[in-house]
Chain A
Amino acid sequence: MKKTLAVYQKELKHFFYSPIAYIVIAAFAIITGVFFYLYLSSFVEAAFMDMIRSQQFRTPPQKFNINLQLIRPYFWNLALISLFVLPLVTMRLYSEEKRSGTVELLYTTPLTTTNIVLGKFFAGLTFYVVMLLPTMFYQALLFIYGNPEFWPVFSGYLGLILLGSAFIGGGLFISSLTENQIIAAIGGFGLALLLWVIGWAANFSGPGLAAVLNYLSVINHFEDFAQGVIDSQHVIFYLLLTTFGIYLTYRSVESIKWRA
C-alpha cells in the first residue's frame, strides 16, 4: 500500500511537471467549453423562439427541461471527447519507463507488479478527474442561473469517471506493451474506439453474438448514467472492464519473467 502510494505520487509528479499535461488539460477545457457554449446557446435560442411563438399565437409555452435538453447531450459530448483525449493521458504511463530504462529500477526494488500497475492506474484516473474539473465549473453556472436537477449531473460524472477508468485501464495495457508513446497513444485510441462502436456491429449479427456485442459496447452502458439513473449492472460492467485492463497490464508486466 505504501509502495503503491509512492508510485502514485511519482506518477502525478510526472504529469504535473510536464508541459504536455497542461496542454491536454487546456485543450480539454477549451473544447468542452466551446461545446458547452454551443449547447447552451442553442438551448437558449430554442427556449427564446418558443417564448416569442407562444406570445404571437397566444399558445401556452412548451416545457423546456434543461437536464434533458442540455445536460444529457453534453455528457455524451464529454464522453466522446474523453475517448479522444484519454489515450494522450495513458500513452506515457508505462512506455516512458520502458524507453528510459527506469523499469530496471522498478523491477529490481521490492515493488510488486501490483504496486506498479495500481499506482500508475490511479494516477491516470486522478489526472482525468482533474481534467473534468473545468466542465464541472461550466455546469455549476447552470445551477447559479437556473434550477436543473442535481442527481442527473452527479450520475453523469459518475458514468464519465467509470467510462474513463475503463479507457485508462485499456490504455495502460497498450502502454505496457511498447516503449513508443506514439504507438501507445494510437493503440489506446484504437482500442477505445473499437469498444465504442462494437455495439453497431450487433445490428448485423446473429442473436447470440449480438447480445455479447451489445453488452461489450461501452456506450450502451453510458446511456443510463447520462439520464440520471445509476444502475448497478452498468457500474459492474465498467468495473469489470477496468479490472480486466489492469489484469492484462499485470500479465504483460509479469511476462518478462517468462520470456526466458
Chain B
Amino acid sequence: MIEVKNLTRYYGDKMAIRDVSFTVQKGEVLGLLGPNGAGKTTTMRILTCYMPPTSGEARVAGYDIWEQPLEVKKRLGYLPENPPLYNDLRVSEYLEFVARIKEVPSNKLKSAISSAVEKAGLTEVYRQVIGSLSKGFKQRVGLAQALLNEPEVLILDEPTVGLDPRQIIEIRELIKSLGGEHTIILSTHILPEVEMTCGRVVIINKGEVVAEDTPEGLTRRLKGTERLVIEMDGDGEVAEKVLQKFPEITAIQKEAQKNGHIRYTIEVTSDIRRDLARAIVDNGLGLYELRTESYSLEEIFLDLTTKEEVA
C-alpha cells in the first residue's frame, strides 16, 4: 500500500532524512518512532505530497507521490502534528469544508460527517466554535477531518500529543480499530504507544532508519542475552559468591530492597534458572523471586539511538 524507497530530503544544507525506505502492507499499522527532530514529520510530509523529497521515490495507494499527487491526496487522510484547524469556524462548518475539498459527493456529505464525528467522539461539541475547544477536542477534530473521505491511507503525526490519559487510551483504541480497514502510519516518540497500537515499527534516528521489525521481534532480535531478576534475603556476600560461580552470567546489578532483601538484575547467555534456584537454596539463602525480564522498547530505543551517536 505504501512503498518508500531511498527518500532523502535536505533543507538547504541541512539533512533532514537520508535513504529512508520501508513498505507498509494494506491494513497494517506502522509506527514511526524516533526522538524529536529525527525526521518523522519530514517523512510524513513527503508521503502526503506536502513537500517533495530531494531524491528517492514513494508510492502511496499505488500512485507515485511525484507523478500523481492528486490521486494520492484523494486516498489520504492526514493529521499533522498541529491539527490544521480554523479557530473561528464551528466544528460542523469546518468538517463540511474539509469534506467538500476532499471531494466527498454532496449526497454523502452528511453521512460522511456524522460517521467521522461519531468515530472521533465529537457529538457533544459539534455546534461549538473550534477556538473554544480544549486541546483534546481539537486533536479529535483533526482526527475527524482525516477520516472524512474514508481514506485508504491514514497518516497521523503524533496523534496523542496533548491529550489526557483517558483520551490517549480512547484514541489508541480508535487507531487500533481503524487498522485493517485503513492502512495507517503513525509517528510518535512515546514507546508504549507503539507497543500498544502498531503491528510494525520503523525506528528513525537523525534522519536514518536504524531498525524495522515488529515490537516483539525488535525485542528478540536486538538482544542475544536475556535478563533475570532475583530477589532473595540473607548475606549479600554469600549471594554474590553464588552468582559468580556461574560462567553464563555476564553482568550483575545489585539493588538493596527496603525490607532487607536484595534484588539482583543479571544478564545471562542461557536460561540457568533451574540451577540458579538450587544453588541459592543450597547456600542457605531465601529465594523470593526469580523471573526473566524482557527488554522494553524504551531500552532498545535508547540502545539504538545512543549507539548511533557513538558511531
Report chain B residues within 8 Å CB of A147: none
A108 to B78 Cα, complex, angstroms: 7
Whether a CB of chain B sits under 8 angstroms from the CB of A63 is: no
Instruction: Count how many chain A residues have C-beta atoms less than 8 Å from C-beta atoms of the other chain.
Output: 30
With A7-B101, A109-B73 known to touch, is A17 a contact of B89 (CB < 8 Å)?
yes
Report chain A residues within 8 Å CB of B10: 260
Interface residues in B214-242 (C-beta closer than 8 Å to A): none
User: Does A3 contact B101, Cβ atoms closer than 8 Å?
Assistant: yes
B45 (CB) vs chain A CBs: closest residue: A104
With A17-B89, A104-B80 known to touch, is A110 a contact of B73 (CB < 8 Å)?
yes
With A3-B101, A7-B101 known to touch, is A105 a contact of B84 (CB < 8 Å)?
yes
Partner of B85, one of A6, A102, A112, A256: A102
Whether a CB of chain B sits under 8 angstroms from the CB of A10 is: yes
A18 to B48 Cα, complex, angstroms: 31
User: Does B102 contact A109, Cβ atoms closer than 8 Å?
Assistant: yes
A81 to B52 Cα, complex, angstroms: 43
User: Does A3 contact B103, Cβ atoms closer than 8 Å?
Assistant: yes
Interface residues in B95-145 (C-beta closer than 8 Å to A): 97-98, 100-103, 145
Whether a CB of chain B sits under 8 angstroms from the CB of A107 is: yes
User: Does B70 contact A100, Cβ atoms closer than 8 Å?
Assistant: no
A127 to B9 Cα, complex, angstroms: 41
Interface residues in B68-96 (C-beta closer than 8 Å to A): 70, 73-74, 76, 78, 80, 82, 84-89, 93
With A2-B100, A109-B98 known to touch, is A102 a contact of B89 (CB < 8 Å)?
no
A9 to B82 Cα, complex, angstroms: 24
B86 (CB) vs chain A CBs: closest residue: A102
Report chain B residues within 8 Å CB of A5: 100
Report chain A residues within 8 Å CB of B39: none
Whether a CB of chain A sits under 8 angstroms from the CB of B252 is: no
The 10 nearest A-B residue pairs measured at CB: A105-B84, A6-B100, A102-B84, A108-B48, A17-B88, A104-B80, A110-B73, A108-B78, A10-B97, A110-B74
Chain A residues within 8 Å of B, Cβ to Cβ:
2-3, 5-7, 9-10, 13-14, 17-18, 100-112, 115, 256-260
What 8 additional pairs, Cβ within 8 angstroms, besides A17-B89, A112-B70? A9-B97, A102-B84, A105-B78, A107-B50, A110-B73, A110-B101, A110-B102, A111-B101
